[in-house]
Amino acid sequence: MSGAAPRKTLGARIVQAAALVIIFGILLLATHYAPESRSVVGTVAGLGFLLLAGTLMSELVETIGLPHLSGYLIAGLIAGPHILHLVDHQSVEQLSVVNTLALALIALAGGAELRIDQLRESAKALAWTMLLQCGLVLVTLFGVFMALSPYIPFTASLPITSVVGIALLWGVLGMTRSPSAVLGILSQLRPKGPVSEFTLAFVMASDIVVVVSLSLAMTFTRVLVDPTGSIQLSDFKELGHELLGSTALGSTLGLVLALYLRFVGKQLLVVFLLIGFGLTELLRYVHFDPLLSFMVAGFVVQNFSSQGEKLLHEIEQAGAVVFVVFFATAGAHLDLPLLYRLWPIALTLAGSRALATYVAGRVSASITGGGPMMRKWGWSGLVSQAGLTIGFSVVVARAFPEFGEGFRSLAIGVVALNEMFGPILFKFGLDRAGETGPKSEPTSTRTAPHPDPG
């Protein structure tokens, strides 16, 4: 699919706004007059409400230039336990099971967007940029988080060793990018030039680096958070077992998926459900990383079979509902009182990450001999963050219940800022680099921006 969808008329927007108000009003009345309906029926109603409200809100925020992800988050936030109380804490927790399926689809799609030919064409530039972007962002955010830790509620009373571990996790979280935001801008503008081509290759390749880095960071953080813990050689042996095993199993899964797509190709939703729920639990049981396994599987399908585009299309179809609920639930999960106290910290962390991204982009372009436009704007597509970042924050929250909820709330706040301004900045950079305009043609076949929120 090329280009953006047709712009909706003012009348259509008014109808959408009225429908959203009516939906909120109906559920508000229902919860007022039947507050006891907090059973499975209440959860099912919450699921339908978040899906419909998130979809309508995403259409409305589009009129002011915000991404759909922001609409999903806003709908969940307004309906959640901290504002209108339309969806209570219990329902939000029960709906969080969707996270498991969403993360599996995010990882599969992220791996399937990574193509060997793109990596080969810009291997040197990618290597330098990966080293500088990941290294400088990690070090910068680690230092900034440590400096701000006395003012962050969930770290203020922790021992310094625990804060170091949390800061390390935050630094890794800052390395994540947003493939969906990049694909959305490229599909809309159809730019041609080094900035757009390199950004696409870098964002897709960086997902693998971040997954491995997160596994390493979590290994160190477990030791730092536990006062009786210590780093031993066996920890790295277990980590190596996890990474190698995850890669091997992901390769096998990719081959199986490719064969299934080639010779069967039906009931893919059932297959995704089995992968998202059943296989995820199995991988956790044998101490493998589900995200890395699924990313490797997607990579294998894309690069070692002819079924890559079909896989992406099927994920788009299956994920259309899942991702709306995933982000709306994330918004409802947001601890608003905590975020209200943390907004200066969220703004500082987001600004520090953007500055580190800018500096690393200028330096890496100079080292690799990039042209003046790469030096000026090669970094502009690397600011956005979205679903993969939130997904990692969910993983951290599950692994570290002592501080996980506060960590996730802060992550969602920072992601909201980066996802709001990142795509606008990328479009501005492409315009200034001269890669957009009526004469721009696509340099390669690109899929439409599926709901991969990565």
Which of 1.20.1530.20, 1.20.120.520, 3.90.180.10, 3.30.310.40 would CATH assign to domain 98-432? Answer: 1.20.1530.20
User: How far apart (Å, rounded) are the C-alpha atoms in residues 148 and 96?
Assistant: 30
Closest CA to 198 of 440, 379, 433: 379
Q: Is the distance from CB of 195 to CB of 377 less than 8 angstroms?
A: yes
User: How far apart (Å, rounded) are the C-alpha atoms in residues 405 and 56?
Assistant: 28
| Residue pLDDT, tens place only, 21-79 | 887 777 777 666 666 555 444 566 777 778 888 888 888 887 876 667 778 888 888 88
> pTM value?
0.70
Closest CA to 361 of 344, 378, 381, 373: 378
Closest CA to 412 of 333, 355, 357: 333
| Residue pLDDT, tens place only, 98-157 | 778 887 887 888 788 778 887 787 788 888 889 999 999 999 999 999 999 999 988 988
| Residue pLDDT, tens place only, 234-284 | 656 766 777 788 889 999 999 999 999 999 888 888 888 888 888 888 888
Closest CA to 27 of 73, 91, 72: 91
Please tell me the predicted confidence (pLDDT) of residue 261.
92
Least confident of 140-144, 222-226, 434-438: 434-438
